[in-house]
Structures are given as structure tokens and as C-alpha cells.
Amino acid sequence: MMERYRAQRIRGLLALGAAAGLLLTGCGAGDSGDSSADNNGYASGFPAPDHTHSTGGTGEQKNNDGNDDSESRDFEAAPDYLSTFALDVDTASYGYARRALADGRLPDPSTVRPEEFVNSFRQDYDRPDGNGFTVTVDGARTDREDWSLVRVGLATRPAADADERPPAALTFVIDISGSMAEPGRLDLAKDSLGVMTDQLRDDDSVAIVTFSDEAETVLPMTRLDDNRGDIHDAIDSLEPTDSTNLGAGVETGYETAVEGLREGATNRVVLVSDALANTGDTDADTILERIASERREHGITLFGVGVGSDYGDALMERLADKGDGHTTYVSSEDEAREVFCEELPKNIDLTARDAKAQVAFDETTVSEFRLIGYDNRQVADDDFRDDSVDGGEVGPGHTVTALYAVRTRPGTEGHLATATVRWLDPNSRAPHEESGRLETGSLDSSVWSASPRFQVTATAAYFADALRLGDDRWTALPGGSHLSELASRADRLATTTEDEEVRHLADAIHRATDLTGQD
């Protein structure tokens, strides 16, 4: 990885001499220096014109003011000013960080992923009528000279009522290893699954697989119909036993899902675990390959639900990424019921497959930029329209937010960035695109005078940045402040938005302030 980084720096210096003053100093973020001009570099250009596929929604290009903009893709792409990544709706990193802080400890910086902090909060983006996305691009200037935060917001249609979604075929893979005996693990999962069983429709199906030192199919794929009692009995019988053979659980879970595969239904494996594999096949790559092969053959996606004060965050995230799914983390009964009951359509249904975003910055107004987070979701720019390359799977009711630190050239005005999202229809696999753009004149004068939801986004990102402070793998966000000041801003935002989740954010920042001694 470092060799790639050195190569990028050398290329930047050569370009500096050739371009008479263009600043091409490489500012990509990555947990191992994993950034290059193919992902997060600097150059001119816009997404390449593509007239072979239809767009989603109305099919019109929209700028941030909602006006038609047919020119937003009439430019040749130049790789150094493009940023391309697979969409990600994971939130587990933020949930686990909150749990660690509540327990009186700071989270390990390696478990802090800023995009999962940002994507944990409600946004007020416009939503499309059908499958696909709307694109919102906005931004605000920081108090650091020439630096701004630019937000790319993607939103799917609202989740349908329970009786309007497709039927679901859910294979629950439940960790019953000894570590799951800790309060707030298996007991939490059992209670939530019991409530969920009562809320599923008669035409939904459920299978249950358990794993400890071995894996067992406790319940084959079973229609709810008149079988709710049998499903409740299977859930109630779950008891913690021995060690954690996660590989066996995943393999048996996918075998059970394939045996119970239903055409026309949403087929998904739901893994509930602390992801602390300690016996059997513990090699992540082997486990991941099993998931990938089943996804390719049968389109079965993975939803990972993490539990426990000790949690294998990195493994769960990799499992979900390879399984074309997403992860969340629950530590309380309320959070578990929200995931398994209130947000069930969002977490099991799909509105877009293999979704990717590409943001093109204008070299005439932008000197450098950096995508905040998405370190493990980078995609080569040339693969943006290669639909064989994996993207992200997104369900109804989801929003995806990407935040950029952008340095504008002094005194310049005009076009700043164009963002394009590409996805496949979940049923027909037909490709679609939608774009949005931002002008420098539309930047708010200050992050802290922008809309409340933009301020929440910035606060979450700055909080994640502060929790990674001291780790030289990441560059600090421009315009950051002490945790105590950030906590005060979060307090005000909680009052302004009347949002309980923003109140929880403020509480978490206060705890971090106390633990770090940043008054």
C-alpha cells in the first residue's frame, strides 16, 4: 500500500512541474494509505457522457437548486479529479462506539469509520417515487482558509407499508456460543426475534440456524401462516453453549437459505453474533468466499447484526460487504426492536443493487479534496460503469451520505462538483443513473450556519475524526474543534432538531470529552 502512496506522490510532483502551479499533492484518506488517482486524487473532468442507459426517477439531471442541467455530464472524465466508491449504509461503527463510551472506555481508532457515524442520522433529502435515488449536493465553508465540507446525499424511496413489500425469506443465523450468555446478547436477540415473528406476514418465511462449536439447522424454511407457534418454540429453545465456529454457521446458514430459496421473495441471511470466531474455520477470506459464491449464484444478501461489549467489528463488516449487505449494532432492547421490527422493510428489502457513486470535481475551482471514510469501499474510476464490479445494496427508506473536505482555489467561482450514482434495478438488473451538481456560489458561508441536518452531518464527522486523533493513518478534517465545543454544538442541535438520536450523539460526545480530558 505504501508503494502505491509513494507512486502517487511522485506522480503529483511531476504534474506540478508540468502544470505550472497546479496543486496535486495527493490528499486521499485510507487506513493503509490505500488511495490513488484512480480513487481519490486530483485532476480535471466530469463523469464521462453515457447516453446508452436511462436515468432513474424522472430521468432529468438536477443541480442543487432543482433546476434542469443537461450539461452536467458533457465532459470527458479525467481520473485525478474523480472519486468513486461503492455505496454503504452500515452504521455498526457508530453504535459500537456509543456502547464503548457508555462502558467508560474510548473505542479503538481502528473501529471508527466516519461514514458509519454520518449515516447513522436522519437526513431530509428529497426522495424518488420509484426504485433508485435522488441526488443532493450541498456544502459549507469551514473556518480554515479555502476549505469547505461538501455533502453528497443519496436517498431511496420511503419504505412501503408491511403489506406492500415483497414477501421475505429470512434465514437467521444465531450465535449461541458461550460469549453470547452475557446479558444483552442472546437474550436480546431472542426477545427481538420473538416480537418480529408476531409482526411478519403470513406469506413470509423464516429459517433458524444456530452455531457454537458446530452449526445446526434448528428450523428449515417455514412459512409463517399457522406456524408461528413452532417458530416461537425454536426461538425459545436457544441457549448459549460452547465456542464460536462462525465459519460453520455462515456455511450452514447459506445452505439452509439456498434450500429454502423463494422466487419473487427477498432472500436474506441475517447473522446475529458478536463475530468473535475462535474455533473451526476462523480465516476471514475463506468464510467471505463462501458468502460471495452464494451471492453470485442465488442473489442472497447478508444483514449483519452485531451485539456484545466485545465485538468483532472488522470481521462483521467484511462479511456484510462480501455478502452485498450491511451491518448494524444493537446494545439495548429498544435498538433491537427498532432493527427487527420498526425498520424491518428497510433492512430486508432492496431498491438498488451494485450501487456506486462517482463525484467529479472541477479543476478550475478545486485544488484538492478528500473523501471522508469509505476506506474499504473504494472503486477504480474506470469501473464505475462496469456492472460486473460489486457495488452496494440499498433498501427503501435508506439515505447514503458522503462527506468531502474540499479546498477551493482562491477567488474562483463557478461549477464545483458533479455527483452521479449508478445502480441496477433489483429485479430486471437494468442499469440507471442520476446526477446532481454544486456551484461555489451555493456554499454556505459557515458550516455552523448551514441547515441543521448539514450541521448534524458535520458534527458526526468531526466526532469520528476526534476519536481517531493521534492515528497518523488519517488526516484531520479542516475546521475541527475541541470535543467540549463539539458537545455544546450537538446539545444545541438536539434542541433545534428535537431528534432523540442527535441527543444520543451529544451524550456520546460529552462522555468522550470526559474520558479524554478535553475541557
346-355 pLDDT tens trace: 888 889 999 9
Say whether pLDDT at 145 is over 50.
yes
**Residue 318 and residue 206 share a domain:** yes
Cα atoms in the Cβ-side hemisphere of radius 13 Å centred on 387: 14
Residue 79's pLDDT is what? 63
**Residue 361 and residue 481 share a domain:** yes
Residue 282's pLDDT is what? 60
**Residue 399 and residue 485 share a domain:** yes
The answer to whether position 105 is within a domain reads yes
Residue 202's pLDDT is what? 94
Residue 5's pLDDT is what? 39
What cell does 158 get?
420511503
Q: How many domains does the chain contain in total?
A: 2
Instruction: Give the Å distances, CA to CA, from 254 to 5, 308, 329, 350.
Output: 38, 24, 22, 19
Which one of 347, 368, 393 terminates a domain? 347
The answer to whether position 95 is within a domain reads yes
Say whether pLDDT at 366 is over 90.
yes
Residue 70's pLDDT is what? 38
The answer to whether position 51 is within a domain reads no
Q: Is the CB of residue 45 less than 8 Å from the CB of residue 78? A: yes
* Domain at 299, CATH number: 3.40.50.410
pLDDT single digits (tens) 50-69: 534 433 333 333 444 444 44
**Residue 248 and residue 197 share a domain:** yes
**Residue 223 and residue 119 share a domain:** no
Sheet holding 326-329, edge to edge: 215-223, 205-211, 168-175, 266-273, 301-306, 326-329
Above pLDDT 70, what percent of the chain?
83
**Residue 343 and residue 356 share a domain:** no
The answer to whether position 39 is within a domain reads no
**Residue 457 and residue 418 share a domain:** yes
**Residue 360 and residue 339 share a domain:** no
Residue with cell 502512496: 5
The answer to whether position 77 is within a domain reads no
Say whether pLDDT at 392 is over 80.
yes
**Residue 268 and residue 231 share a domain:** yes
DSSP string, 72-128: TT-S---GGGEEEEE-----HHHHHHHHHHHTT-PPPGGG--HHHHHTTS-------
* Domain at 390, CATH number: 2.60.40.1230
The answer to whether position 47 is within a domain reads no
Say whether pLDDT at 496 is over 80.
yes
Which one of 290, 321, 347 terminates a domain? 347
**Residue 313 and residue 438 share a domain:** no
The answer to whether position 504 is within a domain reads yes
Residue 47's pLDDT is what? 53
Residue 76's pLDDT is what? 52
pLDDT single digits (tens) 205-225: 999 999 998 999 999 999 999
Which one of 326, 347, 368 terminates a domain? 347
Residues 6+ apart with CB under 8 A from 400: 87, 88, 89, 119, 153, 154, 155, 357, 392, 394
pLDDT single digits (tens) 310-331: 888 888 888 888 877 889 999 9
* Owning domain of residue 201: 168-347
Instruction: Give the Å distances, CA to CA, from 293 to 2, 304, 324.
Output: 31, 18, 11
Say whether pLDDT at 87 is over 50.
yes
**Residue 488 and residue 373 share a domain:** yes
**Residue 342 and residue 356 share a domain:** no
The answer to whether position 457 is within a domain reads yes
Residue 80's pLDDT is what? 85
- Radius of gyration for the alpha carbons in the chain, expressed in angstroms and rounded: 23
Residue 275's pLDDT is what? 87
Of 242-246, 296-300, 425-429, which has the strongest mean pLDDT? 425-429
